[in-house]
Amino acid sequence: MSKNAELIAVGTEIILGDIVNTHSQYLSQKLAQLGINVFYHTSVGDNPARLRFVIEQAVGRSDIVILSGGLGPTEDDLTKETVCEVLGLPLHQDAEALRRMSAFFERIGREMTDNNIKQSMVPDGAVIFQNDRGTAPGMAVEKDGKVVLLLPGPPSELVPMFEEQAYPYLSGFSDAVLVSRSFRVFGVGESLAEVKLGAMLAGENPTAALYAKQSEVLVRLTAKADTEEKAAEMLQPVVDELYSILGDTVYGEDVGSLEEVVVPLLREKGLKVATAESCTGGLLAQKITSIPGSSEVFECGVVSYANRIKHELLHVPQELLERYGAVSEQVAAAMAEGVLRLSGADIGVGITGIAGPGGGSEEKPVGTVYISVASKMGETQTKRFRLGYGRKNEREQIRMASAMNALDMVRRLLL
């Protein structure tokens, strides 16, 4: 039988709305991988009575309770003490936790206080998750068939502690393993992807889930089995089917963005790219150069907002600017070819469009964007896009979709 879990985030800053509770999402995803059901998320402030109430209720109704926060050195931090009260467990000092805490303070060059020593107290019989990134150790206690985990609040401490120590510990309570693979899809909208994938989305094991991301789609395939190997094996035919349906609109597996795929592709082929941007204002160059090592593949970028710059720097003929306007197929191509010549790169990209809110016309409404890719390998390709939906405040979305389409055009050129 699957175990049921619930999550409790402790901290007045959460219920005041000063911070958003991201742990509940993170931990829910991880527990789903383990095949452990999560039924409730609760957030409660640093108040002894309410905290005790929430813990008692959770221990009463769930097999596994995971608390985050409230393990700090101050008087407000009560999670551990309250859990021990509810479960009737005495506390003792953990020598290893104290040693690590001393070493931590030495490393950051600060003095350890008596309050910190309170953090090294642990319940009898607890499994300790040592903390190399902060002062509070995490821990797990078992009592009367219930399992309670205590994790530190800062994400920089909770996440690695969970990955390295709590996840392996919890896998002992799971009777199934979930294996997931995520695929990024560009150039197919969410609704169309839904229609195309059809029956796959109704599958129960493996399951397929579709998520709309900014201007792209994420497909997550998940199989559940006794072992990781079996789950992976069940997954493979669905992955093959996904590729046969969506083809090269699937641009990567377990990657975060198009630039994470395009930069290594350029490096592999030993090619360099240069950019000439108008409406995206440097966003494309910024995306490419966000990838470490991009200096090997990125030559130069020009943000030519003014027509004069398009002409003087990129040598876009004045005649084209006058005859077709700055936002036109002809100017996009001249920008791509201009920056290719200027930079000596192998591929040149030109983007010109209307990001709004102003500047649209009936013929060329806000969201009209021309993207051109010129290269030493073949003819210049230029496409017209209609991005945005005519809603308010779409400037950033239009700029982002423009940069992504440019990256996808480069990717397709390289394939």
* Residue 303: CB minimum distance to its own copies, A: 3
| Sequence-separated (6 or more) residues with CB below 8 Å from residue 202 | none
Instruction: For its own copies, give the closer residue by CB, 89 or 273.
Output: 273
**What DSSP line would sit under 320-361, residue for residue?**
HHHHH-SSSHHHHHHHHHHHHHHH--SEEEEEEE--SSS---
Residues 166, 128 contacting (CB under 8 angstroms) = no
Cα–Cα distance between 265 and 279 in angstroms, integer? 26
Q: At residue 324, what is the residue type?
A: Y
* Residue 14: CB minimum distance to its own copies, A: 7
Instruction: For its own copies, give the closer residue by CB, 41 or 230.
Output: 41
The phi and psi torsions of 291 (rounded to 5 degrees) equal: -85, 125
* Residue 334: CB minimum distance to its own copies, A: 16
Residues that bind its own copies (CB under 8 A): 9, 14-22, 24-32, 38-45, 47, 50, 54, 209, 211, 275, 277, 280-286, 288-290, 292-295, 298-306, 308-309, 313, 342-344, 356-358, 395-396, 399
Instruction: Find residue 378's DSSP bridge partners.
Output: 375
Cα–Cα distance between 307 and 314 in angstroms, integer? 10
Instruction: For its own copies, give the closer residue by CB, 195 or 209.
Output: 209
Closest CA to 288 of 266, 263, 269, 267: 263
Tokens of 302: 């020009």
Instruction: For its own copies, give the closer residue by CB, 351 or 373.
Output: 351
* Residue 128: CB minimum distance to its own copies, A: 25
* Residue 6: CB minimum distance to its own copies, A: 9
Closest CA to 184 of 262, 258, 283: 258
Instruction: For its own copies, give the closer residue by CB, 243 or 305.
Output: 305
Instruction: For its own copies, give the closer residue by CB, 303 or 347.
Output: 303
* Residue 359: CB minimum distance to its own copies, A: 8
